[in-house]
Chain A
């Protein structure tokens, strides 16, 4: 719920946007981490997959450079330590098949890369199951209506503050943004919905799905600090510089550089249960 978007919609006084050329200084290379420990509901697997890249010049226009040769380990509070191996085919991707996530367990990520040690700790958050996945017209009164949207029902666990993030795949391809207008991560707190059955929710409501497509919706839980991370990330990724957006600023990771605190890593480390629902669009 971001009511500020209501205001953004109102601002249609013919403001003019133009792409301009700028000379930007080149910053130092920083490590970028996308590390999520998953426990998929109803599946028993030890597969985990992280991705390490680095920053690049702002106008480089290349795929993100992989961070190779890192030592990636995850320890838990039960004393187990698992080392991730760098993929031979996909540089910068580190995997293991020996780590089954356990609810409530605290995990510590440790990365050694180019002489620096990076660390973060997160607990594996539980998430409720998606009861049904079905396809309906857009429920929001905003935006174009044409086409069916993936729609889910689930029940929020009561008595506890929950934060969610969703992913949607269509024919195996992950949809990055829920709408072409707002480049954001689809996240939500359970404000006003604690313990309620949530019906007709369309996480990617800006994206119509074609008949016959295979749709996968993944529902994941966020810790409070990860919610703030994605909130800040969405603020910046969708920052259009309008009077109603926030000032431009760096998104701070929840991972620390233990060797040199001034060379900050970017990205995140999180651990969550994942509820999946698959269906074909009728």
Chain B
């Protein structure tokens, strides 16, 4: 692929779309989407008929996810899925239907059924009226259907998150995830997060089903998800459904809003860090809806105001653009087009620059077939790249790196009956990874710099999955399934061979891992298979109802990961590259067991869930000392693989009704890693013993409270308290070549001081406008990001321990307007 010709955004979109079309036509003709099974085994009693369709919001006709549908006098009930599709089986005749969803006025309607039919049901959004909320108390559903076998799932309600405090007034869905149990962050600075002891690259982050490889702006400070364009964030921490795969620890499923299909609407928001605007409305002829949202930061406008010319010429900003369009295809089909594009730009002086960004696009066709098959065909492309400019011996050079993927998948949900669903599907993803390419900026000048090019990695990930969710009587429901996944590394590639087949050897003499000795290499032609890894990923979860309001749950899930982030730093950075599995790097694997209890208390005012989990991880990654992972043609000589174990208890108590709402989440956890020297039991990192993972927090407490004050004011607060992160302290010091060096004790054997922080926010409405004031870290606690050790600059014999804190108290103000 000639990368130069695909630089322009237009061409790039063309590449994604063109390839998408080419691939959809090659999807096997047996794609179940087009041919519904001709002879389903009808389990239903003959006089029962099927009612299915979408549940929509009356205000803007966007779909309503996870709404509950129940009928009077019938045991049947249904819940709309993540695309708003519901299914219920009823007897012929008249029924009173009851539909409920969080934040909506329950719908109570009657319907007469002569036969199976498709019907969209609409819900009106609940206005913030306290009295109404109280009346609704016994009607409001839980966030998760209490009868579903689903567990270890958290849904982030963006309406709530907008009322809660945020850093610099920029609502960040990813930052907000860390307020949930089982999710922790290793830095105040970064949005990179860890789920149940996993590493940041073990989270699959999907934006409208397209993988986002580096979801960070401003070096990780802010996620790329513009809260104006986001509707729903669902986090799967365990019991991950079989339709998801490719990452070990979690799936973050982010959906963009569809846009208002009734009327044109817009919003604008001015904050300290960035400004945002969104516009949405119906498509001509009411054939659907669209949404466009954009955001740009303006730190560089302040730079431009500087009197210093050097500072004035610097550039520092990011932007992103989200767009989505939903087109109705008759009553039963929807075509969705979704796009994201964003970039960060930094420039210092004339030659030093850094920029990076994601582009993603999704085309999806949803179709309801015969009232019982919900079919999705999706084509999603994603592209992340960065570009650095700097000088080498006074000549400008450009460094580029890129990862592209194109995913095609088919997902089917076949409703055999009430609470009896078979889900199956297939997917294929083509990956193209360019680890690094450095060349003279002026391409005609080849006299001073020989281009350095690390060979591209090509891979094809494919998967098949099937699952069945069924109720066994009133008390028990179960979901079981399996995913078969495979990853093919294909050429062109040069694969090196090492002495004794070991790209990394343990040198017992000096106690370090060292690169192995190259003996030979083999060239693989383009498209030729280099290596293949595959495996089955069984997933099971079950629920046992104790009472109408409480249940016990248990699950097991295996996950495999074929793409790993090669990052040596404490937090992931935009420069990190993804390295696929190969002849030497094995897929990461995790087995997770979880048990849980969930219930509603006090007439559904409170929701309680308690979960315990135990997870074993295999082939997790670490990097050898002193090896560079960037521009390393034999990166396998820098990678060691080990094992991990993580276990913990999570408590989550949420108050959803009443004047004050919010939640308390508490996690008691442990996560440890072990990297053994090959074939030895007591050698390796930390002498081959388990040591705490970088994200390990023994205790982690978050309290979120939101309270309206009268009709116009609203108050929000979050409080966090957690154990310090593991770190390493020196046991002595020495001098080499004049540099003072710390000799450290066992890895991660000590901890940073306890972390606590209070954030506050206050907002007031004025007509269509709203002002939000906030303060992050209200009592100005200098929490330790790290404690590092250095030689004093004034006296070279003196050593110092230095605490680095990212934020003191940070006030913020923002103004938003809707029209």
Please give the residue numbers on chain A whose beta carbons come within 8 Å of chain B beta carbons, in ascending order: 1, 3-4, 6-7, 9-11, 13-22, 24-30, 32, 34, 53-64, 119, 139-142, 174, 176-177, 180, 183, 185, 191-201, 224-225, 227-233, 235-237, 239-256, 258, 261, 264, 266-268
Contact = CB atoms under 8 A, between A and B. Distances in A.
Contacts of A245: 569-570, 788
Contacts of B346: 6, 10
A18 B625 contact: no
21 contacts: A13-B806, A18-B802, A24-B730, A27-B732, A58-B731, A58-B799, A60-B733, A192-B452, A196-B447, A196-B448, A196-B449, A199-B394, A228-B627, A236-B741, A240-B802, A242-B786, A243-B190, A247-B728, A248-B728, A251-B741, A261-B509
B573 A261 contact: no
Interface stretch (B35-43, B350-358, B495-503, B585-593): B350-358
Which 8 pairs across A and B sit closest by C-beta, in order of nearness? A241-B786, A27-B731, A241-B788, A232-B626, A228-B626, A243-B571, A256-B509, A176-B738
Nearest to B512: A252
Interface in B483-539: 508-512, 514-515
B808 A14 contact: yes
Given A19-B801, A22-B801, A139 B734 contact: no
B107 interface: no
A3 B510 contact: no
A17 B737 CA distance: 26
B802 A191 contact: no
Interface string B408-448: 00000000000000000000000000000010000000011
Contacts of A228: 514, 625-627
A264 B397 contact: no
B300 to A, nearest CB: 12
Contacts of A53: 734-735
A7 B438 contact: no
A253 B507 CA distance: 11
A127 to B, nearest CB: 17
A201 B448 CA distance: 12
A231 B735 contact: no
A141 B732 contact: no
A55 to B, nearest CB: 4
A229 B786 CA distance: 24
B449 A193 contact: yes
B514, B738, B795, most chain A CB atoms within 10 A:
B738
Contact of B392 (A1, A29, A59, A258): A1
Nearest to B747: A249
B87 to A, nearest CB: 46
Interface of B: 186-187, 189-190, 218-221, 316, 346, 348-352, 354, 388, 390-394, 397, 399, 438, 447-452, 508-512, 514-515, 568-571, 573-575, 625-628, 630-631, 694, 727-745, 747-748, 782, 785-791, 793, 795-808
Contacts of B627: 228, 231
A248 B190 contact: no
Given A16-B806, A261-B511, 4 more contacts: A58-B742, A228-B514, A228-B625, A245-B570
Contacts of B508: 261
Contacts of B449: 192-193, 196
Contacts of B571: 243-244
Contact of B438 (A13, A174, A192, A244): A192
A56 B742 CA distance: 10
A71 to B, nearest CB: 20
A240 B788 contact: yes
B354 A6 contact: yes
A10 B354 contact: yes
Nearest to A267: B736
Contacts of A192: 392, 397, 438, 449-452
Contacts of B731: 24-28, 58
B575 A19 contact: no
A20, A27, A63, A248, most chain B CB atoms within 10 A:
A248
Contacts of A258: 509
Contacts of B748: 247
A62 B733 CA distance: 10
A7 to B, nearest CB: 6
A240 B801 CA distance: 10
A10 B804 contact: no
A7 B808 contact: no
A63 B738 CA distance: 11
A28 B730 CA distance: 12
B739 A177 contact: yes
A198 B511 CA distance: 37
Contacts of A229: 626
Nearest to B189: A243
A139 B448 CA distance: 15
B625 A241 contact: no
Contacts of A261: 508-509, 511
A53 B316 CA distance: 47
B570 A246 contact: yes
A29 B571 CA distance: 33
Given A185-B739, A228-B627, A237-B740, A55 B570 contact: no
B349, B393, B575, B803, most chain A CB atoms within 10 A:
B393
A240 B790 contact: yes
B734 A56 contact: yes
A190 to B, nearest CB: 9
B348 A9 contact: yes
A58 B438 CA distance: 41
Contacts of B736: 32, 34, 233, 266-268
A206 to B, nearest CB: 13
A4 B738 CA distance: 24
A208 to B, nearest CB: 17
B19 to A, nearest CB: 30
